[in-house]
């Protein structure tokens, strides 16, 4: 209990910090998950639905208990003959106790259905959290990429400014051609524009992240995302297929629906069986003359619907057909989830492998740019060679950043395809 209070307090503190416009707030992916699970409207709505299912269960259980009814009446009567006219008043008070002894097991089955609905509500909450986790990972990855791209744009701007200053000093003395000076000036202006656009893109991606978290976006925020595009070891496709077949939340929900519809058939069959009820009542009647009558009665009621136009029989058949549809839907969903898993696994594996090559190309471009820089300073390389190496370095770094971002966006799709992945595992999907 203390741990749950600590987590809630930590989440609240993080939320207040992020909402502050005056201080620099940092946010990790795990903290974003905690905030979203506390503030996202879809999660909060589903929690209320679970609470509603809890009351539905309690209401169904109430049918097991007897009912106690109180009653009272006041009767004013008039009697008239050819000679006299008389009035009398009778007051009656009573209480009745009634209970169903047997109703074809329909009451028990209705309670079990209510329990299944509670379980389905919790499963739906996990499904919502899983979908939210995908949106959070995708939006966090795009925002983190945008943040890193802003930093890269600042470094590019510095290089372009230094380059422009270099040509501005050398051009008047005839050491550099006019076209090179103009190009350096244009590239410097373009770099300033790129930085402004990168900052706008970062703000848009952060707004999307805030939207999924469920918090208002502070316009003057100075939020900084913590973390990197770190990945855990990827399980084999065979292992993940086994996990999908056994633990996918969509399949779990569908199996619960099958269980609920089995109970529905039992409730319909109860219409073929008799019902047995018992009641007892006690009443007191008082008249104007002072007479008082006390009555105690009891009854045992047995009823049996012998013929109802085949309504009960057709209701049972209808429920059975609904069960068959649900079972076939389960098979269809299972095939679809396994197919989706293979495609998501393929995309993520491809994205992972791609980062190996983009990193090697980025390192090679950086080393070449440094060598060309030295040779250009010594007069051994032309301006075009130097410019080409610098641009190639920048481009390869951008491509590598994009590849890292894609590993997380494809991982988000894979997590959703698996149906319950290892991002925090139990603590992410299980309620405290």
Q: What is the pLDDT of residue 8?
A: 46
Position 263 pLDDT exceeds 60: yes
Position 166 pLDDT exceeds 60: yes
% pLDDT > 70, the chain:
90
Strands (E) located in 9-66? 26-27
Q: What is the value of pTM for the model shown?
A: 0.82
Q: What is the pLDDT of residue 20?
A: 46
Q: What is the pLDDT of residue 2?
A: 43
> Nearest-CA neighbor of 198 among 388, 18, 401?
401
Position 359 pLDDT exceeds 90: yes
Q: What is the pLDDT of residue 84?
A: 74
Q: What is the pLDDT of residue 354?
A: 95
Residue with the larger pLDDT of the pair 284 and 163: 284
Q: What is the pLDDT of residue 333?
A: 95
7: pLDDT confidence band, cut at 50, 70 and 90? Answer: very low
If you search the block for the tokens 């008389």, which residue do you land on? 86
pLDDT in tens, 47-69: 999 999 999 999 999 988 999 99
Structure tokens at 247: 């633990």
Position 43 pLDDT exceeds 80: yes
**First and final C-alpha spacing in the chain:** 9
> Exposure of 79 by Cβ count < 10 A (0-12 exposed, 13-18 middle, 19+ buried)?
exposed
Q: What is the pLDDT of residue 88?
A: 80
Q: What is the pLDDT of residue 221?
A: 62
Contact by Cβ (8 Å): 19, 13: no
% pLDDT > 90, the chain:
56
> Where do the domains of the chain lie, and which CATH numbers do they carry?
2-66+104-273+311-429 (1.20.1600.10)
Q: What is the pLDDT of residue 233?
A: 85
Position 177 pLDDT exceeds 90: no
pLDDT in tens, 371-425: 998 898 888 888 778 888 988 998 999 999 999 999 999 999 998 999 864 444 4
DSSP alpha helix (H) spans, 296-381:
311-377
pLDDT in tens, 13-39: 445 444 444 344 788 899 999 999 999
pLDDT in tens, 188-200: 999 999 999 999 9
The stretch 76-84 carries a mean pLDDT of 75
CA distances from 294 to 95, 289, 291, 313 (A): 12, 15, 10, 46
pLDDT in tens, 222-258: 778 888 888 888 889 998 999 898 889 999 999 999 9
CA distances from 128 to 40, 199, 297 (A): 10, 31, 55
The stretch 144-151 carries a mean pLDDT of 93
- Tell me, rounded to whole angstroms, the distance of Cα 329 from its chain centroid: 23
Query: For 322, left (φ over 0), alpha (ψ -120 to 50), or beta?
Result: alpha
CB proximity list for 325: less than 8 A, separation 6 or greater: none
**How large is the C-alpha radius of gyration of the chain?**
37
Q: What is the pLDDT of residue 230?
A: 84
Cα–Cα distance, 43 to 39 (Å, whole number): 8
Residue with the larger pLDDT of the pair 180 and 358: 358
Position 3 pLDDT exceeds 50: no
Q: Which helix H or strand E contains 86, and what residues bound it?
A: strand 85-102
Q: What is the pLDDT of residue 373?
A: 86
Cα–Cα distance, 136 to 211 (Å, whole number): 10
Residue with the larger pLDDT of the pair 160 and 384: 160
Q: What is the pLDDT of residue 127?
A: 92
What is the pairing mode between strands 224-225 and 26-27? parallel
Position 11 pLDDT exceeds 60: no
Position 428 pLDDT exceeds 70: no
CA angle 245, 121, 411 (to 5 degrees): 45
Give the 3-state secondary structure of residue 378: coil
Cα–Cα distance, 45 to 324 (Å, whole number): 31
427: pLDDT confidence band, cut at 50, 70 and 90? Answer: very low
Q: What is the pLDDT of residue 19?
A: 46
């Amino acid at each position: 209990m203390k741990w749950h209070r600590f987590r809630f307090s930590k989440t609240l503190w993080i939320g207040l910090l992020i909402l502050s416009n005056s201080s620099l707030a940092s946010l990790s992916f795990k903290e974003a998950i905690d905030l979203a699970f506390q503030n996202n409207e879809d999660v909060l709505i589903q929690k209320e639905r679970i609470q509603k299912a809890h009351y539905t269960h309690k209401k169904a259980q109430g049918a097991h208990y007897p009912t106690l009814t109180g009653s009272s009446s006041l009767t004013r009567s008039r009697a008239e003959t050819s000679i006299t006219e008389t009035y009398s008043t009778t007051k009656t008070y009573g209480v009745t106790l009634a209970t169903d002894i047997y109703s074809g097991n329909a009451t028990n089955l209705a309670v079990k259905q209510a329990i299944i609905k509670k379980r389905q509500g919790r499963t739906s909450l996990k499904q919502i959290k899983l979908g939210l986790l995908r949106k959070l990972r995708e939006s966090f990855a795009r925002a983190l990429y945008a943040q890193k791209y802003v930093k890269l744009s600042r470094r590019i701007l510095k290089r372009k400014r230094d380059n422009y200053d270099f040509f501005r000093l050398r051009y008047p003395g005839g050491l550099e051609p006019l076209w090179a000076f103009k190009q350096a000036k244009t590239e410097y202006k373009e770099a300033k524009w790129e930085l402004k656009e990168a900052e706008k893109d970062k703000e848009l991606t952060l707004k999307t992240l805030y939207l999924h978290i469920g918090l208002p976006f502070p316009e003057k925020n100075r939020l900084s995302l913590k973390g990197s595009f770190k990945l855990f070891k990827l399980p084999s496709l065979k292992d993940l297929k086994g996990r999908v077949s056994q633990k996918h939340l969509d399949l779990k929900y569908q199996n619960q629906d099958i269980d609920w519809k089995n109970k529905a058939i039992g409730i319909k069959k109860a219409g073929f069986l008799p019902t047995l009820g018992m009641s007892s009542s006690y009443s007191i009647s008082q008249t104007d003359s002072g007479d008082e009558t006390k009555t105690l009665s009891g009854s045992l009621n047995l009823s049996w619907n012998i013929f109802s136009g085949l309504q009960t029989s057709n209701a049972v058949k209808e429920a059975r057909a609904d069960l068959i549809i649900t079972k076939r839907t389960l098979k269809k969903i299972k095939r679809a989830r396994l197919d989706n898993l293979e495609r998501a696994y393929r995309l993520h594996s491809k994205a992972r492998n791609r980062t190996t090559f983009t990193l090697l190309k980025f390192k090679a471009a950086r080393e070449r740019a440094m060598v060309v820089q030295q040779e250009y300073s010594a007069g051994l390389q032309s301006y075009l060679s130097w410019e080409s190496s610098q641009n190639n370095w920048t481009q390869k770094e951008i491509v590598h950043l994009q590849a890292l971002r894609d590993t997380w966006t494809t991982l988000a799709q894979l997590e959703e395809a698996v149906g319950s992945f290892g991002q925090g595992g139990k603590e992410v999907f299980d309620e405290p």
